[in-house]
Structure formats: C-alpha cells, structure tokens
Chain A
C-alpha cells in the first residue's frame, strides 16, 4: 500500500456500547479512584498529589471502561505500572537535569519493556513520565515510587475491578490472570 494512502484508514469505528456498559464504567471508575483520593487527602498535606497520580485515571478507563481488553487485565495493569515506574525512576536518576532526554527515553523504554514482558498497559507510559517530570516529592521517593503509590494504586484498582466488574450479569473480569 502506498505510504500516503495508508493514512486514509481502512475500516469503520466500532459501534457504541450499550447504556448499561456506560453506567457500569462510571460506577467502576468512581469506586476505583475514590480509595486513592481519600488516602491522598488524609495522609499528605493538601496540594501534594502523591497517592493519586494521573496515570491511574488512564488505567480506570481500561479497567472499568474496556474490561475485556487484554490491556485491562491484572497482569497488564500491575506489570505495566510497576515496570514503567522502575524505568522512569531509573532514567530520572541516570540523567539528572536532562528532562528533555529522560522523558522520551522513559516512555519509549517503558513501552518496549511492557511489550517484551507481555504487560502492555498504556497508562504505564504516563507512570514512567511522571517519575521523570513529577513533583519534588515524587523525585524524593526514589524507587519507593514503584511501590507507593504505583503498585499499591494498581492493586487497589484491580481489587475494585474484581468487585464491581462482576456485579453485572453481562460483565466479567478478568479475562485472564497471568
């Protein structure tokens, strides 16, 4: 296929989901994010976002809104976040003061590592990026970042997904564990 004609696309976007799916996605995401939001509020001073990181919002889209996707399965959620966090922290430490290089390297390397370990989870890219560009508080954590908030948050979201996503007769989670 000639290079430019490939940019036209080849097919239609999939149909809309049923209304019940929209409602269950909302409910799941609400209860999936609320534990982190509460911990954040109580344990740390206001304004310092440490238990809630942006990539959890992205994970919620998959784990509660696209629950049958391979990207949304426990293996991917836990593996993708933790591996990406480790890579992000490592690059921040390896290239201090070179955000322009550490940032793209962190994201690109995370994707490669997730592919190689069959744990591809798109929010992992954000988790790696946050390790590099995040607040001084995140930088100060060092590798602890991969455990709290990252691993803990991922575990909580998977746990909530197991509870909420199996309530409906027409939904099930997960598709696979490992």
Chain B
C-alpha cells in the first residue's frame, strides 16, 4: 500500500471487536468478514486522505495573521517575539511586506552551537564546556545575520500533499505562503496540516 503521505498515521485504529459490534448492531446479513472490512476501511482511508490532501490548498488552511519581523530586528527582540507567541520561527519581510527570508530556532541553535548538530542539547553541551555559552554573543546581532534566505515558499494554490512533501524533504516545520511580488500572505505549519487532515476526515 502506498503510504507516502503526511497523513498516513491518521486512521482511527478500528478493531475487529468494533466491526463485530457494528455488525451485531446492524443485524442484517453482511457478506463480509471483519478482516476484509478492516482491509477495505484502511485502504479506502488512504484514498480519502490522498484525495482530500490534493483538494485542500495552502490558502484553505494557512494562518493569515502572521507574526513576522524585519531584517533589522535584533535577535534579542526576535527571540522575545517567538517566546511570547510560542512559535519556533518568523518570516522576515521588508518594508513592503515582501518576504526576504525566515529565521527559526534552528538558525539560533546553529549560531549558538557553533556548527554542531542543531539541537537544544548541543547548545547545553556547548555551554557546559570551557568555551562557555555563546548565546550572549548573539546579543548585538540582527536577524539579517543569521536568517535563512532565500526561504522555501509556496503559493496559495499549492496542495497540502505537496506542502507535506516539502516539509518532510527540507526538514522544516513551516513554510511561508507568498502571493504576487513575493508578498507574504500567510504561513502553513506542520500542525496546520495535521489538524486540517484529521478534521476533514473525522
């Protein structure tokens, strides 16, 4: 079965007992075994997920109120913004709302961990060694210095299944949605995809 889909983990784990109870409740003679029903259910579920993921576009699920920053924003301010809003990344825009890049936790970690694996623990490990903590050295710097540019972007018409593939391949957690002239119009995160995918089916 083809399960190269972000939503392949979604199916409600229906059990043989559920099917037997449903059959008892329906009471008519149904010419199918519980095992075959589960097989049909799971296979059909994959098809439904695929169909829905193809139909749903970025524009349908993206957040339109995006918290963003400019290239000149200090890293201190950017970190505060992300912490306050409980997010892990910010699209970076110019004065005309055009997307110029993205700054995320990973960019911070890369700077603080000095090229080690980009994880929280690598920063901790770094801070506990002689060279000390490098986070303070980010104090005077601006988003421009560490952001990822150009950013991976999608348009409002990109389907969710394409976005899911992009997120998986690039190992990123969010992708800005841009319109005409690179203007930022929204953002799609992994959790947007998860909630839209399951909500459509259940």
Interface residue count for A (Cβ, 8 Å)? 8
CB of B35 within 8 A of CB of A175, answer yes
Q: Which of B1-55 contact A (CB under 8 A)?
A: 29, 31-33, 35-36
Min distance, Cβ A75 to any Cβ of chain B, angstroms: 12
Q: How far is the CA of A69 from the CA of B35 in the complex (A)?
A: 11
A70 at the B interface (CB under 8 A): yes
Q: How far is the CA of A120 from the CA of B32 in the complex (A)?
A: 13
Nearest residue in B to A71 (C-beta to C-beta)?
Answer: B31
A3 at the B interface (CB under 8 A): no
Chain A residues with CB under 8 A of B33: 68-70, 175-176
A98 at the B interface (CB under 8 A): no
Chain A residues with CB under 8 A of B31: 69-71
Q: How far is the CA of A167 from the CA of B31 in the complex (A)?
A: 24
Nearest residue in B to A115 (C-beta to C-beta)?
Answer: B29
Q: How far is the CA of A68 from the CA of B32 in the complex (A)?
A: 8
Nearest residue in B to A175 (C-beta to C-beta)?
Answer: B33
Nearest residue in B to A72 (C-beta to C-beta)?
Answer: B31
Question: Mask for A143-156, Cβ within 8 A of B = 1, else 0?
Answer: 00000000000000
Q: How far is the CA of A71 from the CA of B30 in the complex (A)?
A: 10
Chain B residues with CB under 8 A of A115: 29
Interface residues of A, Cβ cutoff 8 Å to B: 68-71, 115, 120, 175-176
A-B contact pairs, 15 of them (CB 8 A): A68-B33, A68-B36, A69-B31, A69-B32, A69-B33, A70-B31, A70-B32, A70-B33, A71-B31, A115-B29, A120-B29, A175-B33, A175-B35, A175-B36, A176-B33
Query: 12 extra interchain contacts, Cβ-Cβ under 8 A, other than A69-B33, A71-B31, A176-B33?
Result: A68-B33, A68-B36, A69-B31, A69-B32, A70-B31, A70-B32, A70-B33, A115-B29, A120-B29, A175-B33, A175-B35, A175-B36
